[in-house]
Amino acid sequence: MPPCENVSSEVSATSGRQIITAPNGVPLLQAPMLAGGVAHGFTTRVGGVSPAPFNTLNLGRGVGDHPDRVAANRQRALETMGCDPAGHVEAAQVHGRTVMVVGRGQRGAKIDGADALLTAEPGVTLAIHTADCVPILLWDPRRGAIGAVHAGWRGTAVGVAAAAVEEMTRSFETDPADLRVAMGPAVGPCHYEVDTPVAQAFGSWPWAAAVLRPRPGRPAHWSLDLVAANRLVLMVLGVPGEHIWTSGLCTACEADLFFSYRRDGVTGRMGAMIALA
């Protein structure tokens, strides 16, 4: 199989989103912002082979699912994108701001210590896995570079998305104004309640009030909007707001579609993947 190829599929557009369902039965959420230039997608929990509580398309290792089932699910997801499973590179995800530039020499690897991956090489599929954290995909159409970022509250607070854009500027001469960004399903402020230590991590932000709202009847508790927080970080760096797509989907709300660690505890992981077409 070539690095990435078009997949014959049924496409339906809804609210600025595309759901592609490939012949293998795996639905993939795509962003019109990235269409045509890169192979990409955000998986749901549907279309895999894992039993409960990982039912069915669990892509996460280390959550208790059998490795063979995880491998089969990953292959299905990559086939839906039209990408070679051998080209898969994943971030270890330690809730920090370390960004790594990878290439064909890291195909098949898990990159220790990284929460964001970048490449400008075809044949490499960047992947992160989430079950409430914000998955962010980046594309610089001018320089031909891409990125995948894992942003939980810790990563968001220390600026992992900003670190990824800054590294793209250093490594590929990316102008943030050229970037196209897609943020996939994540826990929304409707379900993401945080306490004082988490709120304090954002308290010094000039726009803290825009992403932290007091919870009625819950003293010293706030609703945190992680998607809005990462969007603001990117805009401050010069990414135009109209170049940032958000799914508008909350993982905790949609139990039939998404895994949610906050909702379920023991659960699977979705994937966010991107590759140069």
pLDDT for 39-61, tens place per residue?
999 999 999 999 999 999 999 99
pLDDT for 95-129, tens place per residue?
999 999 999 999 999 999 999 999 999 999 999 99
* Whether the Cβ atoms of residue 136 and residue 151 lie closer than 8 Å to each other: yes
DSSP states along 179-236: -EEEE--B--TTT-EE-HHHHHHHTTSTTHHHHEEEPTT-TT-EEE-HHHHHHHHHHH
* Whether the Cβ atoms of residue 260 and residue 187 lie closer than 8 Å to each other: yes
Q: Which two structure tokens, joined as six digits, stand for 90? A: 């994943």
Q: Which domains does the chain have, with CATH numbers?
A: 10-276 (3.60.140.10)
Kindly report the pTM of this predicted structure. 0.93
pLDDT at 198 over 80: yes
**For residues 11 and 114, what is the distance between their CA atoms, to the nearest angstrom?**
33
